[in-house]
Amino acid sequence: MRGTRVTRREDERFLRGRGTYVENLDLPGALFATFVRSDRASALIRSVEVDRARRCPGVVDVVTAADLALAPFPPMLALSNQAMVRHWLAADRVRFAGEAVAVVLSETRPAGVDAAASVTVDYEPLPVVVDPEAAAAPGAPLLFPEAGTNVALDLQFGRDEALFDGCEVVVHRRMVNQRLASCPLEGRSAAAAWGDDGRLTHWSSTQSAHAVRRRLAPLLGVAEADVRVVAPDVGGAFGAKMDPTPEEALLGLLARRAGRPVRWTETRTESMLSLGHGRAQVQHVEIGGTRAGRVLAYRLTVVQDSGAYPAHATGLPILTRMMASGVYDIARVEFNSTSVVTNTAPTVAYRGAGRPEATAAIERAMDLFAAAVGRDPAEVRRTNLVPPGAFPYTNAVGTVYDSGDYATALDRVLDRAGYAHLRVEQAGRRAAGATVLTGIGLSMYVEVTAGPSAPDEWGAVSVTTAGRAVARTGSSPHGQGHETGFAMLVADVLGLPLDDVDVVFGDTDAIPTGTGTLGSRSLQTGGMAVHRAAAEVLAQAHRLPGDPLAAGATWADAAAAAERHGRPLAAEVTYRGTVSTFPFGAHLAVVDVDVETGHVALRRLVAVDDAGRIVNPLLAEGQVHGGVAQGAGQALWEEVRYDGDGRLLTDSLAHYAVPRAADLPTFESELMETPTPANELGAKGIGESGAVGAPAAVQNAVVDALAHLGVEHLDMPCTAERVWRALNR
């Protein structure tokens, strides 16, 4: 069954409108939480006036920081400056527009919205700093005067003034890897209800039920055993739902205070304001080498925008550094980064998280270098690739790539795209003075999955006397298709039909521990745990007296025999990854750029992706398609923008450009399968590759279209306005 295009078992309920998203939960007696959010980016709070709101019809309570008197919200990232403290609700100061200041509990949602509008907050304005480079500069206004700095995390590995010695050509460029919004179609949604037994049930739209439990229990002052977290169907996440934000964490406290269940589903505006954003790096890139096209040295210096409170993205430069030199064998690589707080929404993980940023930098750098030495960008890439025989390969910063075949990926993408033919077309249009020009962009990538921060996952398999296998996993999906993919693994090992395998996840009462679905890790960690547990169950069955399975008995018979012997067929496995894996690939984009309007049309996107052995190509391709679309979105349209006062300009899906069907072509996706030695399945992760590889391919294509007109670089997103301005300076 492995390696075949099995259609999804989970689709039926979604197609019939029976998804179990938190907002669909029937929770009688629940109050609705509505947050009052700051419309200032930086201000002291003089007072919060809630009396009028309390008197509104249907209002049960209005809660501010003063009512709660809680210790600060625990830091999201242990590495960051711990003096940068966040409160559950803003207490004396707000640091970004959209920060929650108060919360209304009401009998109905409209009553809460009405009452929240009548809460009055008296603010004393403070200086605003939106730009991360400005925030890092001496004399910048401090978000946390008590910290004495805006630097949340400084990763300085030293600077070698001789790094580019011996280079015949050195190119330097400042690039912005812009701030993005992950925009899951379902925003944050959660509900909390205390039982008579003193246990809390907390439903959450999350990537990890267990991460929510781990965070909530200490905040609520109860044991983890007294918190049940349920992650029902989750309407997308893309990295932004790894940990509960203060709003969600408050629900259990509010439910305890009110003596009733409390539920909350954010609006899209709230989501854009405060779910958290991704990317947000300013990159200084230097690349040097020989006139023959050999790269000798590469320097990447990053300013990471942390937003107002350090969270996951503050640590993104760690991942950016890991594969800063990409798929290339570069002898000297230097990386330094500074993560700084600004008066903007906190930045968090977003699909790729650190690797798209690394890829965009090195892949733009390769094109800049190719242009500087006057050589074809495909040829310069080929000259510098890590050769196939070099694996495991240790790059210049010490990262060990497990397996790869980069040259084949490059050959295949060029061949599939018809590269030589495209160059002829491009030259023809230029020669004819066409107003719509052809651009061809390449991007190669290597990324990391099952990275060192989250290598483990729990899984279990049992067989019932009815002959059904039950697989339980700590990995909790939000669209990836675990119910199908994990069932295939178990069905293969046990020789059962897929329909006889159940997959259970997303409930901490049913699953003792788990890490979750993040960092493209699920199949190779959670899948491995389930795979090994199934193998153990098979071995248990064969060890039964008389080996009934070998004698032709059914699984139901074997399970019954096992129970008679007091040894039910059941195994638990914690898979402990010891080696990170490094998926890779090559993407090629073809764009049509209208030089009169600046409009860019993405005509083709060819993606060759290698994530090791594939369990279900249908699902793997689906992951590639979604990632590539988000990558194209970053390259051409998407950008979270604030004005100088820290007001969010892109606070809705009317203002933030999520790609639409008509913006995108049908993708041309090919899967390569270079196995990893890291696990028995030979599998790496595929969830983020599209978002890692595609942005630079599309960006390079736009610049390539305009190269003969003197355009050397365009930052993403390459909007019509940006292209037009570059051509009309």
Least CB distance to another protein at residue 701 (A):
17
- Alpha carbons 64 and 103: distance in angstroms, whole number: 7
CB 207 within 8 A of CB 190: no
Instruction: Give the range of 3-11, 115-123, 513-521, 581-589 binding another protein by CB under 8 A.
Output: 3-11
Least CB distance to another protein at residue 5 (A):
8
Distances (CA, A) of 615 to 117, 222, 474, 684: 51, 41, 19, 11
Q: Considering the rule CB under 8 A, would residue 58 count as an interface residue with another protein? A: no
- Answer for which of 629, 692, 697, 714 binds another protein (CB under 8 A) is 629
Total residue count of the chain as it appears in this document: 729
Type of residue numbered 300? L
Least CB distance to another protein at residue 27 (A):
12
CB 449 within 8 A of CB 526: no
Distances (CA, A) of 140 to 127, 131, 132: 9, 10, 10
H or E stretch at 152: strand 151-156
- Answer for which of 139, 389, 654, 729 binds another protein (CB under 8 A) is 654
CB 346 within 8 A of CB 308: yes
Least CB distance to another protein at residue 655 (A):
8
- Answer for which of 2, 21, 169, 396 binds another protein (CB under 8 A) is 21
Q: What SS3 class is residue 663?
A: helix
Q: Considering the rule CB under 8 A, would residue 184 count as an interface residue with another protein? A: yes
Give the closest residue to 205 by CA, choosing from 221, 189, 192.
189
- Answer for which of 1, 19, 397, 574 binds another protein (CB under 8 A) is 19
Q: Rank residues 187 and 293 by Cβ distance to another protein and give the closer one.
A: 187
Type of residue numbered 334? E
Q: Rank residues 289 and 695 by Cβ distance to another protein and give the closer one.
A: 695
Q: Rank residues 405 and 670 by Cβ distance to another protein and give the closer one.
A: 670
Q: Considering the rule CB under 8 A, would residue 278 count as an interface residue with another protein? A: no
- Alpha carbons 468 and 620: distance in angstroms, whole number: 27
Q: List helix spans (H) across 171-313.
A: 209-220, 246-258, 268-274
Q: Considering the rule CB under 8 A, would residue 28 count as an interface residue with another protein? A: no
Q: Rank residues 455 and 685 by Cβ distance to another protein and give the closer one.
A: 685
- Answer for which of 3, 4, 11, 601 binds another protein (CB under 8 A) is 11
Q: Considering the rule CB under 8 A, would residue 322 count as an interface residue with another protein? A: no
Instruction: Give the range of 5-13, 70-78, 342-350, 442-450 binding another protein by CB under 8 A.
Output: 5-13
H or E stretch at 417: helix 406-417
Q: Considering the rule CB under 8 A, would residue 339 count as an interface residue with another protein? A: no
Instruction: Give the range of 160-168, 458-466, 566-574, 651-659 binding another protein by CB under 8 A.
Output: 651-659
Q: Rank residues 78 and 661 by Cβ distance to another protein and give the closer one.
A: 661
Q: Considering the rule CB under 8 A, would residue 435 count as an interface residue with another protein? A: no
- Alpha carbons 522 and 516: distance in angstroms, whole number: 7
Place of tokens 């397996």: 403
Half-sphere exposure of 387 (CA within 13 A, CB side): 3
Q: Considering the rule CB under 8 A, would residue 113 count as an interface residue with another protein? A: no
Q: Considering the rule CB under 8 A, would residue 207 count as an interface residue with another protein? A: no
Q: Considering the rule CB under 8 A, would residue 619 count as an interface residue with another protein? A: yes
Least CB distance to another protein at residue 192 (A):
19
Instruction: Give the range of 13-21, 438-446, 517-525, 545-553 binding another protein by CB under 8 A.
Output: 13-21
Binding track, positions 574-613, relative to another protein; x by CB under 8 A: ----------------------------------------
Q: Rank residues 356 and 626 by Cβ distance to another protein and give the closer one.
A: 626
Binding track, positions 504-543, relative to another protein; x by CB under 8 A: ----------------------------------------
Distances (CA, A) of 657 to 299, 618, 636, 652: 32, 27, 9, 9
Least CB distance to another protein at residue 633 (A):
9
CB 22 within 8 A of CB 190: yes
CB 555 within 8 A of CB 493: no
Residues within window 469-488 making contact with another protein, judged by CB under 8 A = 478-481
Query: Which residues have CB under 8 Å from 162's CB, separation 6+?
Result: none
- Report the sign of the C-alpha dihedral through residues 536, 490, 517, 219, in that order: negative
CB 418 within 8 A of CB 411: no
- Alpha carbons 473 and 526: distance in angstroms, whole number: 6
Cα-based angle 484, 453, 216 (whole degrees, multiple of 5): 80
Q: Considering the rule CB under 8 A, would residue 236 count as an interface residue with another protein? A: yes
Q: Rank residues 84 and 234 by Cβ distance to another protein and give the closer one.
A: 234
Distances (CA, A) of 477 to 184, 488, 517, 571, 609: 14, 16, 6, 22, 22
Least CB distance to another protein at residue 360 (A):
19
Place of tokens 């949602």: 109
Q: Considering the rule CB under 8 A, would residue 699 count as an interface residue with another protein? A: no
- Alpha carbons 267 and 113: distance in angstroms, whole number: 11
Q: Rank residues 42 and 274 by Cβ distance to another protein and give the closer one.
A: 274
Instruction: Give the range of 15-23, 306-314, 335-343, 508-516 binding another protein by CB under 8 A.
Output: 15-23
Residues that bind another protein (CB under 8 A): 7-8, 10-19, 21, 23-24, 110, 182-187, 233-236, 238, 267-269, 478-481, 618-619, 621-622, 625-630, 652-654, 658-662, 664, 666-667, 690
